[in-house]
Structure 1
């Protein structure tokens, strides 16, 4: 059976931790800056889980004890060992997995761009051939018209 992980909006996280919405955003940004992973929804809004709320509570407690936010955030991010999961229970990819996936996507895009550039060049060549044929047909038409005109004038 799949376990559902509770998620919280910024406002809900603010209320649960006892800090302002702005402070939640600031803490989340600091944590992410140091490699901490916070899930996001389709609109890219952060979705906090209980572990994230605990991390923010640690930030709040430790700053009250006099440690700097940067050091606390770094320590929390480094200590984040348990793999987090997305709302649909997919595991968050490791940095190496994410990089490999992005490299694969970029490689595919480069191939598609190359294909499009080849199609564009082929199309340009086809257009040039068509323009040459049109010019040739115009010249033949003018020559034929001149011959017909000469023939009528001789009559």
Structure 2
């Protein structure tokens, strides 16, 4: 069992560290740029090249059953789900095999709209409720994985 973090723009890294420490679960923080991580033997930092999708490729290769991937990237979430990992967005929304197809399709439609110059709003600002939802969702996923024999 472990947690993989798509870290460059992740707003819940501190929350991940706290929950991981409570459950004694290793965390791998993957980024294209140097990030500070706590001096904790459970936390490992992986610095990948700044190549396109280098962090995503590393995370997708490491994703497996018993792992939790934290990312807002829908295409990475899809790859991690296909590898058997549990996937959470930083807002606490779980990506599932039942929901990922719709998310990928919506992403493609929004990309087309933006490419055609249509004004399309982004996600709402990240807030306290998102942070709280994430903490609860991560706790829930780790408990479920542990009960299923992954921890």
Fold-level similarity (TM above 0.5): no
Select the structure that is richer in strand.
Answer: 2
TM-score normalised per structure 2: 0.29
| Higher relative helix content | 1
Higher relative contact order (Cα pairs below 8 Å, separated by 6+ residues): 2
Q: Which has the larger radius of gyration?
A: 1
